[in-house]
Structure 1
Amino acid sequence: MSGFIYALLPVIAISTLGHILSIRRWIPAESWRAIERLSFLILLPALVVRTLANAPFETAPWRLASALILAQFALAGVGWLARYLPGLQRPAIGSIIQSNVRWNTMIGLSIGGLLFGQDGLALVAIAAAAMIPTANIISVYGLVAHADHPTGKRPKPILALVQNPIVIACIVGLVLAGGNIELPDLLDDCLKILGDAALALGLLSAGAGVDLSALRRAGPRTFTWATIRLIGLPAFAVVFCLALGVTGIPLLIAVICASTPTATSSYILAKELGGDAPLAANLLAVETVLAMATMPLLYFAVQLLPAAAGA
């Protein structure tokens, strides 16, 4: 557990620095949007392509990807059942479903890399290749299906996935690894430099995007669903991993990815697609704070399982 705490502390510190830079307005809000755009379009895809291209494709844990996807659908189903709860408005259900399936890729990459090096980065990248498309599809349909008045143009989730730079990077990296195509030294060096910047800027942006003032607005409903998300998704991930025979480091990576808080983009998507945007912001803030405690506890608990032996 001490190793996980050691890996988590830099993530918390850099995210906190990003939050301080944002609330003090030492970096303007429009600059953060530019940084997020740069990370999304260039830096993170570069990291994903290089990591997957250099990963041993023949040992790629497809069962890990399958287990995480099943976990997302299972917790989305729990959110869908929220429609039967009294007093819960339809837009709130959409925001809950989205919170249940989204995860913070940057936190997963940072902790996975610090704990397990390149092997950890490769496994988180494979998890991202599975979880990002699944989260986008479930989130869009969940929000639109429960919106009172969806705003703007009707979303096209499949088209959005095809155009998503991270999804494209996953495909490119897997193709390179599958074809045993070695990256030229110059390209590999360029991707390494860009990838090294991805984690730092990504964590700074993640911290800047969290509105901790939302904690004051959060009530019992928010804390309940935040807890369900932070415990439920990793619990389902472990169950499906064990059922599919996923053990060792891949099992621990599954817990790391599933136990991260929801993505900072959840508020924007909820606002655009007619979800309960204030609830989305509240869930993001509460999960970000609670995850500092739940992530190491869940990681420690899974380490006690015989299936995690040898990790």
Structure 2
Amino acid sequence: MTPVTIDVGARATAAARTAGVTVRTVDDVAGIRAVADFFADVWRMPRDTPPYPTEVLHSLVHAGGAVHAAYAATGSAPGEGPVGASVAVFGPPAAREVYSFVAAATASDRGVGFAVKQAQRLWALEHGASTMRWTFDPLVGRNARFNLVKLGAVGAEYLIDLYGPMNDGVNDGDESDRLTAAWDLTAEPVDTSGPTAHSEDRATATVLRHAPDGGPLAARDEGRLWCRVPKDIVALRAADPALALRWRHAVREVLTDAYAEGFRATGMSRDGWYVLTPHTPHTPHTTSEEPRA
């Protein structure tokens, strides 16, 4: 296994302190039910039909996975539920890989999501893993920036309409394309200010295609490719589902062509541009995917 050159435990502790939370694994009935309720609230579904039922979460823990939950460290009422949570399971032992089934934080977040991922990372390393994977919607720019910049993961593969139609309160009316994030758990952290997606270079790059809003969608120079996503796809999906779907198809076309050519998403700018760089092709290990991200 690749040696770890950073103090992941200290990093997890610092992240939780900064976010004002405590993060722990949960395996009791009441705790797991509270996590199921939390996920239902995040995905705007009734608590009696959550996206991840309590019994499923219990089964994943029993199978050797982990449910992590973040709780406000101060100012919370007794018995108040989690403000962030995640679920992780293991892939085959030969891969030494953990799959993050789901992770979410409250809308206010303030570092809660980062604290949860650091706790997951520590747990995975303690159990012998060196890589973590999960999926996310490539049109949600803030998630892409968190995954690719804040954590330093790479978009390993593009998956078209992975889950088919989805009936939660966040993804209704859209197709479920996903990027798989691959995170080297042993690597030194990236600069948390993240890449700027080389905005000056992008401005002089050749525009390849235009977006549904009439602005540039994709641009390219000799070594990099850029692709823009809408400012807030969740709000757009609610206000104009047809326009949101046109964005889905436009970005899909750019990214599938780029991935077929050997590019991978390695950064996301603050103004919503992916930066894609050449990547040596390899055959990734495949595990079950995150149902909703």
Query: Is TM-score (shorter-chain normalized) higher than 0.5?
Result: no
Higher relative contact order (CA 8 A, sep 6+): 1
Higher strand share: 2
